[in-house]
Amino acid sequence: MRLPFPLVLLAAIGAVSCHAPPPVQTSAPAAPSQPSQPFDVAAVDAYITSQMAAQGFVGLSVAIVKDGAIVLDKGYGHGQLAPEVPVTPDMAFAIASLSKQFVASLVLVLADEKKLSLEDKVAKYFPDLTRAGDITLYDLMTHVSGYHDSYPLDYVDQEMKQPVAPDEAIARYAKRPLDFEPRTQWSYSNTGYAILGRVIEKVTGQPLGVVLNERIFRPVGMTHSSYMPTEGAPGLARGYTSFALSPPEPAAPEARGWSFGQGGIYAPAGDIAKWDIALMGGKVLGPEAFKIFTTARRLADGRPTTYGGGIGVAVNNKGETLLRHRGSYAGFVSYSVLVPRTRSAVVAISNRDDKFPGGLVNEIVTRLAKSHSPPDLTIAGPSARDVARDIFAQIQSGKVDRRRFGEDFNAFLSDAKLEAASLRLRPLGMPADIVVEETYERGAMEVATVLLTFGDTKLEAIMFRTMDGKVQQFLINKR
């Protein structure tokens, strides 16, 4: 139940903007496309199998969603080593902090039902906690409360070996001085989600596990998922760990009570995929709640975080919004990435806590992205470079063949505008080099970014062409 996603993984799925990610986009961004490639499920299956041996996983539960449907739901390796028990698609693994999105969604659902408000102060439910009158439920959900994290280490410490009631665990960590003034910093805190779990219980009058089962597991069809099951119960994978290159050995789990609202769910990857489909399909949260869930929180001074309501929010260098989270628990580590625009998702859970499946997930996400790239357009006539060279030369001369332009661009490029452009561009002479830096599809047109070099001067032309070869736009700017 540690950090939601490691920063070192960002490069694998595209560089992420340092600005606050926008809400999930409802239309395709204008981004460079790669040639569309079929998504080969058999090849991905073979790739995962190869990674089992290459990386030393004990077992993996993996599910892939493409275009809103599960295309792979499979177990790999062993759910238990001695005696050997293979991983089956319905074998449940501890998902750890992936649980937070379920708890956050319940809070949002209850807010829609007017049973609570995201702006409720913690004092309404726990008046004795530190600064309870200054911290809201939304602050807890987005990790800006300042409450000290109850599970900051990557192993089970002495305290967590002893069972604890959720309220006692909350009191131990949320009655301490705050780590920072509320809303001035972002710091991952399991304590906040323990409080949210208890708020759900107080509002509904039911145990958190019952609420999860009735409001999420059963409606979504998560038939093999459970909340805080008894260790060793049938259908559960066994968790393993390693220290200093040791062979995998059984991991001693946290004592009961330390995985409450912050990470108490066991599920196979296929059940998480069903959840992802329902979530992206609008069957869990309404539009406003989903916007809150997928919008990164801003701090009091306007600085952005990269976390929404129980899930990380990022925009990669293709302009694609990614929702993702990591989970860690004694013996288990999980990772999930959702791409709402393409209704795609990849979930992988490992039952060896030193073998994180992030690289594997990111590789599959990349393959899914390629399969969703729009097909290349076939444009009549010469190449983009040749057309750009000719059109630029004509504009320099002040005489253009208007038959090569679309109606709107002909109207835009008036005679007066053409004459003025010619006077400015003619002194540059012929370009020393012309390079088409990238092409992509937008609105059933080919968009070409063309770099023209004149000694120390560089110009950029953005050219749009329809399939009939007509130029619909040729805008020239200084680079």
Contact (Cβ atoms closer than 8 angstroms) between residue 445 and residue 356: no
* Percent of the chain's residues with pLDDT above 70: 90
Burial (Cβ within 10 Å: 0-12, 13-18, ≥19) of residue 281: exposed
What are the sequence ranges of the domains in the chain? 7-371, 384-478
Query: How far, in Å, CA of 372 to CA of 75, rounded?
Result: 26
Q: Residue 465 above 60 pLDDT?
A: yes
**7-371 and 384-478: identical CATH topology:** no
- The angle at the Cα of 421, spanning 417 to 426, to the nearest 5 degrees, equals 150
**44-68 tens-digit pLDDT:** 999 999 999 999 999 999 999 999 9
Point out the least confidently predicted range of 111-120, 191-200, 303-312, 441-450: 441-450
**197-254 tens-digit pLDDT:** 999 999 999 999 999 999 999 999 999 999 988 877 889 999 999 988 899 999 988 8
pLDDT of residue 374: 59
Is residue 224 within a helix (H) or strand (E), and if so which, with residue range? none
Phi-psi region of 341 (alpha: psi -120 to 50; beta: other; left: phi over 0): alpha
Specify the fold of 7-371.
Beta-lactamase (3.40.710)
pLDDT of residue 319: 75
**Does the structural domain 384-478 have CATH classification 3.10.450?**
yes
